[in-house]
Chains A and B, each alone.
Chain A
Amino acid sequence: MKEYKIRLEELSFFFGDFQALDQVSLEIRPREIFGLMGPAKSGKSTLLRVLNRMCDLIPEVRVTGRVWLDDEDILSPDCDVVNLRRRVGLVLSKPMPLPRSIRENLVLAPRLAGRERGKMEELVETSLKAAQLWEEVKDRLNDSALKLSGGQQQRLCLARTLAMEPEVILLDEPTSGLDPISTAKIEETLSQLKKHYTIILVSNNTKQIARATDRTAYLLMSRIIEIGDTARIFTIPKDKRTDDYISGRFG
């Protein structure tokens, strides 16, 4: 067993003149929930978007350093980005179902990836069950996904990512717009998913990071301030800045 799933080596990231990440190095272990916390503009979302190369969509960016997924350098020009994104799924902060039926949302990507057609029904059911949405929508899979509530839409987006059967799931503040009950459902789902997936959770809600993650990194002004077991970071932080942030004395 390798000791890491993803490994960042001195990753720096520039938007034009602005440096969004500065020499970030860290390792993410297989089947853990890794939390990334930090104030707005600290580089959390940027880091997430490097991991499945969604950062390619932004013009005029420059990346240095290395990022390994298993033993593949995903920043290398040879990396097959489409395949990478199938292995590393991303759930965005705003629930964004496509204007299709619930079923279509789930099977669109697997079908285009060439998955077996006969398995689609099964895939719909398992991914909805994993995202704890099955019971609520099993009788209306052909209804438009846009009719679901915000919390349901976000779980559908999670299910949609799961239906791709990725290895890593990236979550960019997945509960920022949700009520506490929907949030609790998503967090519970994540703890179930941990058995099979490596999960990276970005959140600026420190309580959520404390509740839901195994290890945590604190990012401030494009730099990693501290990395460690979540329990340890939230009880005896080594850096004063981390202490300030988690106890709400930031800024």
Chain B
Amino acid sequence: MIPRLHPKVTQAAAKTLLWALTGLTLLILIFIIVNISIKGLPQMTLGFLFQDPQDMGRHGGIFSTIIATIYVTLLAIVLASPLGVGTAIYLTEYTREGWATRIIRFGSECLAGVPSIILGLFGFVLFVMKLGFGWSILSGGLTLAIMVLPIIIRTSEEAIKAVPQEYREVCFSLGLSQWQTITRIVLPSALPGITTGIMLSVGRSLGETAVLLFTAGSALRMPTTLFDSGRTMAVHFYILAREGISMPNAYGTAAILMISILLINLAAYTLMQRLVKRYS
């Protein structure tokens, strides 16, 4: 007979193991946050936040990179959100599952799998060179939009599918048109999920470097038009660290980037809680 462990023993072992795995994950996260905070927070002064970089970023602050980050991210989200949500609505509400939807979905998944450096190269060839936008906020925003599009499509689709089919039936039986049903009932109910997708995309855009090195360039000047080159915080961090210009300033930038992503997630989470409450 094969000796078997008592179920109580295996249960205890499994619980301990899973607890340890979870703990390890948490520990890694805490280590990163603490490490960057210790090295970066001493740099965080009002001057660092609100002064433009001087001497390649060795001195001064990072104000222009904050602004460039906001521009590029905002542009990407503003472009990708309607496209992504619209595609998701089409896929879920206006077509039946078939080869066409499968191709669109497959395409979007392939797009999600393209490494960002390749996407950067594509953006460089298309927007920077072919369309002549140059290294600019516009080229960067457009390429980032392509990068986050699959995330928004995927999460929006899941969110819209999760809205009970009965709601649609009720709306139709009350004489609402399909569009009214979508805008009045389906989208509001799916909004928390859609918001999550958009917030994930914001996070991805804020942290992206490869795409932007190729498309937005690395000019430290304050960008004033869509066609100006701009260096985002993530790119700034990369260049400062990689070229050994100033490690303290690199960590300062990293700390600010990390804190803003945390804050944005927190804000999105609170907003979502409110929306969920309002619609249930």
Contacts and interface: CB of A to CB of B under 8 A. Distances in A.
A82 interface: yes
A199 to B, nearest CB: 15
A46 B231 CA distance: 62
Given A85-B173, A85-B175, A92-B169, 12 more contacts: A85-B174, A89-B173, A96-B164, A96-B169, A99-B189, A108-B176, A108-B184, A109-B176, A112-B176, A112-B180, A112-B184, A160-B174
B16 to A, nearest CB: 41
A235 interface: no
B45 interface: no
By Cβ-Cβ distance, the 5 closest A-B pairs, closest first, are: A86-B175, A109-B174, A85-B175, A90-B173, A96-B166
Contacts of B96: 59
Nearest to B173: A90
A242 interface: no
B116 to A, nearest CB: 38
B279 A89 contact: no
A127 to B, nearest CB: 12
A62 B240 CA distance: 68
A113 interface: yes
A89 B169 contact: no
Contact of A82 (B164, B167, B175, B184): B175
Contact of B174 (A83, A89, A144, A146): A89
B98 to A, nearest CB: 10
A1 interface: no
B170 A98 contact: yes
A83 B175 contact: yes
A241 interface: no
B22 interface: no
B177 interface: yes
Interface in A98-148: 98-100, 108-109, 112-113, 144, 146
Nearest to A49: B173
A82 B176 CA distance: 6
A57 interface: yes
14 contacts: A57-B169, A82-B175, A82-B176, A85-B175, A86-B174, A86-B175, A89-B173, A92-B169, A96-B169, A96-B170, A98-B170, A109-B175, A112-B176, A146-B280
Interface in A73-93: 82-86, 89-90, 92
A99 B279 contact: yes
A170 to B, nearest CB: 9
A96 B175 CA distance: 16
A108 B173 CA distance: 13
Contacts of B280: 99, 144, 146
Interface of B: 96, 164, 166-177, 180, 184-185, 189, 279-280
A92 B189 contact: no
A60 to B, nearest CB: 10
A37 interface: no
A161 B189 contact: no
A152 interface: no
A164 interface: yes
Nearest to B185: A98
A161 B166 contact: no
A36 B170 CA distance: 21
Contact of B170 (A52, A82, A92, A113): A92
Given A108-B184, A144-B280, A54 B170 contact: no
A51 to B, nearest CB: 11
A82 B178 CA distance: 9
A94 B176 contact: no
B252 to A, nearest CB: 45
Nearest to A144: B280
Contacts of B174: 85-86, 89, 108-109, 160-161, 164
Given A108-B184, A112-B184, A146-B280, A96 B176 contact: no
Most chain-B Cβ atoms within 10 A of its Cβ — which of A59, A98, A100, A113? A98
A113 B169 contact: no
